[in-house]
């Protein structure tokens, strides 16, 4: 039996993962549940874990797997978790599985750490469930580095990016700095300055003049292989 707040948090995590492909941060959970501190979220997560509704993934900061939903108390199906972790899509009905996939170009590596040279086009592609495909042009990038680890984005993951040059404060974006450095960061805009925030305390926030930063797209999903 869950309390009202426990159920509210569980539903929020499940909906967030379904839409964005990543687990919400404690700050996002705190805002969604209108709590004053992240310690309250920490206690709710522990309570959900003790009751078997979520599981914290080992060695993955703030990465949660929803095991049971808060209504029917049954295990969440693999389809409901499709945006969080993608493994092998092949099954005994190969043709049916292929019909559910789309292909995105894998353009190269994106730094989740110190910016690397700008993304270069190549002819590699990656299969993505059609349900994860947004309207409009999209592409995939391989993550290199751990600066976004507290958002559940790890070295070696593949991120799915919707191509756009517009982003809201708080979006995780592909930023092109000075036309030659590409990086994956959370964006904050204030006046003529842009802050590119990491989700790992060992990396500093970079504050740059707005004219130095071009938005190349924003995060819409995440693929991971184990």
Active-site residue set: 147, 185
- Tokens representing 92 are 């005994």
How many Cα atoms sit within 13 Å of 164 on the Cβ side?
15
Round to whole Å and give the CA distance between 203 and 125: 31
Give the helix/strand (H/E) hosting 56. strand 54-56
> DSSP secondary structure string, 99-160?
TTEEEEEEEEEEESSS-EEPP---S-EEEEEGGGPPSS-EEEEEEESSTTGGGT--TT-EEE
> What is the chain's length?
226
Distance of CA 194 to the CA centre of its chain: 21
Pick from 212, 173, 182, 216: which is nearest to 194 by CA?
212
Q: What are phi and psi of 31, to 5 degrees?
A: -65, -40
∠ Cα 136 138 139 (to 5°): 170
- Whole-number Å distance between alpha carbons of 148 and 151: 6
Cα angle 144-19-153, degrees, rounded to a multiple of 5? 20
């Amino acid at each position: 039996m869950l309390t009202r707040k426990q159920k509210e948090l569980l539903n929020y995590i499940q909906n967030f993962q379904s839409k964005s492909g990543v687990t919400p941060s404690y700050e996002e959970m705190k805002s969604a549940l209108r709590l004053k501190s992240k310690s309250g979220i920490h206690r709710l997560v522990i309570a959900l874990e003790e009751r078997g509704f979520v599981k914290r993934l080992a060695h993955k900061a703030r990465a949660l797997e929803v095991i049971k939903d808060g209504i029917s108390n049954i295990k969440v199906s693999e389809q409901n978790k499709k945006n969080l972790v993608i493994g092998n899509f092949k099954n005994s009905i190969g043709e049916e599985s292929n019909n559910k996939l789309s292909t995105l170009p894998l353009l190269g590596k994106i730094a989740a750490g110190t910016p690397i040279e700008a993304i270069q086009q190549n002819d590699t592609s990656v299969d993505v469930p059609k349900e994860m495909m947004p309207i409009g042009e999209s592409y995939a990038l391989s993550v290199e580095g751990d600066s976004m680890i507290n958002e559940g984005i790890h070295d070696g993951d593949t991120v799915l990016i919707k191509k756009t040059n517009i982003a809201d404060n708080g979006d995780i974006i592909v930023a092109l700095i000075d036309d030659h450095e590409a990086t994956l960061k959370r964006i904050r805009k204030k006046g003529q300055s842009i802050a590119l925030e990491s989700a790992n305390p060992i990396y500093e926030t970079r504050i740059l003049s707005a004219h130095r930063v071009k938005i190349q797209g924003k995060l819409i999903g995440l693929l991971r292989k184990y």
